[in-house]
DNA sequence: GGACAATAGTTGAAACTTCAAGGATTGGGG
DNA sequence: CCCCAATCCTTGAAGTTTCAACTATTGTCC
């Protein structure tokens, strides 16, 4: 409907056709694509944040952290969590601290290397996460409902190509 | 390559095929799609934040705000900016304050309604934004470089459908 | 005209986020 | 053994973000 709304999150400064022909390399198409991608992500993410808060009084970062731990039966080194979640280690300190306080996560110093912390889900954490994850799945399913299986598969594929392009750009200096 | 990395940002708790057949409505495909979407967005957004900081000592929220104002020649009511950026009004107060301090944005009380604030780009703000926006375009162009025009167009289209699906879900109660 | 609801922003508390600096620990030469 | 670089994590400062409560202003209904 209103592609004006694509401006949300970042901008719309090349959305009008005005500036498009001026510059030699304007990247207009790429930017429109980026803005649309951003809009979709923002819409979904905001809704998930809102519902997590509303139904479970929980935040998305905490949910994400539990999600990382769920598959690691024996816990996970903090640094590994940091990499997987793509957030800084400094960020995790406080996050883990709160989850330990609430009894969802345990924290142990590695006996082999006392710099290293191993964190793991407690039974309570596992149960709480399962409940929330089920609802989370329903929310996503609902928001993606109108997308046919074919469209979903196509989108998955195209996003795969985009991801490849981005990663290449990030690993090669310029 | 490594779809493990798709776990970044949110989770990978249904990425292994383990849990997929258990639940009646598992939404596994939708969640995988969502995680991939999130990964792409996070990768791009982090890189833009990093470069804005590095090259211009500027933050993404500020850049986004300037971008909103750029097309509004006569300025914009604060509430309108809030809607377009999809952020709360409380958020904008501090953001605008800093941009006013740095001389990039002007703030005027509307003569018709003294509750209303109109904010606009200054000349300095316009110039600074142009410089940054040009670089921003190059960064995006670089990250999307490997995506062919055909793939880009297809992605744009599929994302359009997804956006429609999300919006529908958000407007209808359940 | 005056009470009163609605609207526009601000403020304060809490949480998340990053970066830079610092502390603790480990591992490797000399 | 001791210094020293590297690694893992914490701390502190600054910024962004939201929500809820509040102020100021406007508009409406009696």
**Residue B61 neighbours by CB distance under 10 Å:** 18
Structure tokens at A52: 């997590």
The pLDDT, as a whole number, for residue B170 is 86
Mean pLDDT of chain A: 85
Contact B84 A146 (CB under 8 A): no
Percent of chain B with pLDDT over 70: 85
Mean pLDDT, residues B24-52: 90
pLDDT higher than threshold 50 for residue B140: yes
The domain boundary residue, chosen from A57, A72, A92? A57
Q: Are B95 and B62 in contact (CB under 8 A)?
A: yes
- Please check whether residue A124 lies inside any domain of the structure: yes
The pLDDT, as a whole number, for residue B173 is 56
Contact B13 A67 (CB under 8 A): yes
Nucleotides of C under 7 A from a protein CB: 7-13, 15-21, 23-27
Give the model confidence (pLDDT) of A16-62 as tens digits. 444 444 445 778 889 999 999 999 999 999 999 999 999 999 999 99
Structure tokens at B154: 């297809």
pLDDT higher than threshold 50 for residue B52: yes
Structurally, how many domains does chain B consist of?
2
- Please check whether residue A174 lies inside any domain of the structure: no
User: Do A75 and A126 belong together in one domain?
Assistant: yes
Partner residue opposite A152 with nearest CB, options B29, B86, B133: B29
CA distance linking residue A141 with residue B27, whole number of Å: 6
**Alpha helix (H) ranges present in chain B?**
28-56, 60-70, 78-85, 89-101, 123-143, 149-171
User: Do B72 and B17 belong together in one domain?
Assistant: no
User: Do A23 and A65 belong together in one domain?
Assistant: no
> H or E segment at B105?
strand B105-109
Give the model confidence (pLDDT) of A72-83 as tens digits. 989 999 999 999
Query: Confidence band (pLDDT; 50, 70, 90) for B104?
Result: very high
- Please check whether residue B112 lies inside any domain of the structure: yes
User: Do A100 and A40 belong together in one domain?
Assistant: no
The pLDDT, as a whole number, for residue B28 is 85
Domain residues for A19? 1-57
User: Do B65 and B95 belong together in one domain?
Assistant: yes
- Please check whether residue B144 lies inside any domain of the structure: no
B10 versus B117: the higher-pLDDT residue is B117
CATH code at position A66: 1.10.10.10
B4 versus B68: the higher-pLDDT residue is B68
């Amino acid at each position: 409907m209103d592609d004006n709304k694509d401006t949300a999150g970042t901008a719309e400064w090349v959305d009008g056709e005005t500036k498009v022909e001026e510059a030699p390399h304007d990247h207009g198409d790429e930017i429109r694509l980026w803005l649309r991608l951003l809009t979709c992500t923002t819409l979904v993410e905001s809704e998930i944040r809102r519902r997590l808060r509303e139904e479970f009084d929980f935040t998305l970062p905490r949910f994400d952290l539990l999600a990382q731990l769920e598959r690691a039966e024996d816990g996970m080194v903090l640094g590994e969590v940091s990499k997987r979640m793509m957030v800084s280690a400094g960020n995790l300190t406080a996050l883990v601290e709160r989850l330990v306080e609430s009894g969802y996560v345990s924290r142990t110093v590695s006996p082999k290397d006392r710099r290293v912390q191993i964190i793991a889900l407690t039974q309570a954490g596992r149960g709480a996460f399962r409940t929330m994850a089920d609802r989370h799945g329903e929310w996503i399913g609902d928001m993606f409902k109108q997308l046919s299986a074919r469209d979903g598969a196509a989108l998955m594929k195209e996003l795969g190509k985009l991801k490849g392009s981005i990663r290449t750009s990030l690993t090669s200096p310029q």
